[in-house]
Amino acid sequence: MSTHAEIGNVTYSHDLPKTPVDAAFLASQAGKINVSMIALVGCWGCTLSFLDMDERLLGLLDKITILRSSMTDIKRIPERCVVGFVEGGVASEENIETLEHFRANCDILISVGACAVWGGVPSMRNQLPLADCLEEAYIKSPTVVAGIIPIIPNHPDLTRVTTKVYPCHEVVKMDYFIPGCPPDGDAIFKVLDDIVSGRPVDLPTSMNRYD
């Protein structure tokens, strides 16, 4: 079964993933499970929250192997992962391709932070046509250099920007959501620890943030 949708002038399709890995399956796994992280369009605040797990992350390293993180230059997941964390919303063709790659290679995919969950601050441009946003940024910008005719960048090497910014679940199926701008490291740790320990994910309301 495939889903199809149009994001701006970009059409994509992908196979829906299997049912997310359940606690019984995780508990049966021998050795470490693979975990990866990616940042799309956002401020990296959620990546910093991941680091805010501090020394508790060290305690998880006997259970997980981090194959890819937002702090490396690895563009693709080298092998299948049980868990994938996604920070940031979707605002370009490259974002779509990256998110679909994660969905295809992660059993559990988690939206982390307001941008991934709702679109966040970048989605404020959705109130205006994309052409107006580009004109304001490149043609009418107060930083335009005098004497140089300003242009809107348009080169084959540049990824195409989507007409709107989308939360991740409007592009692929996401399994869990950790809200916040950014969420606390405590919340990220709780979700990851539940998963790698074979427990059902149970994030208390008191640990959620909506600001």
User: Which residue ranges make up each domain of the chain?
Assistant: 2-8+17-123+161-197
pLDDT value at position 138?
A: 93
CB of 1 within 8 A of CB of 16? yes
Per the model's pLDDT, the better-predicted residue between 28 and 63 turns out to be: 63
pLDDT value at position 7?
A: 53
What region, left, alpha or beta, does residue 49 occupy, with left being phi > 0 and alpha being psi -120 to 50 degrees? alpha
Q: Which CATH superfamily is domain 2-8+17-123+161-197 in?
A: NADH:ubiquinone oxidoreductase-like, 20kDa subunit (3.40.50.700)
pLDDT value at position 41?
A: 93
Burial class (CB in 10 A: 0-12, 13-18, 19+), 169: middle
Per the model's pLDDT, the better-predicted residue between 63 and 16 turns out to be: 63
Closest CA to 87 of 68, 52, 124, 115: 115
pLDDT for 150-203, tens place per residue? 999 989 999 999 999 999 999 999 999 999 999 999 999 999 999 988 888 888
Number of H helices, E strands in the chain: 7, 9
Please list the residues that pair with 35 across neighbouring strands.
66, 83
Cα 176 vs. chain centroid, distance in angstroms? 12
pLDDT for 54-109, tens place per residue? 888 888 888 898 888 877 767 788 889 999 999 999 999 999 999 999 999 999 99
CB of 83 within 8 A of CB of 107? yes
Rounded Cα gap, residues 138 and 80, in angstroms: 40
* Cα–Cα separations (whole angstroms), residue 32 to 28, 29, 178: 11, 8, 23
Q: Is the pLDDT of residue 13 over 50?
A: no
Q: Is the pLDDT of residue 24 over 50?
A: yes
Q: Is the pLDDT of residue 209 over 50?
A: yes
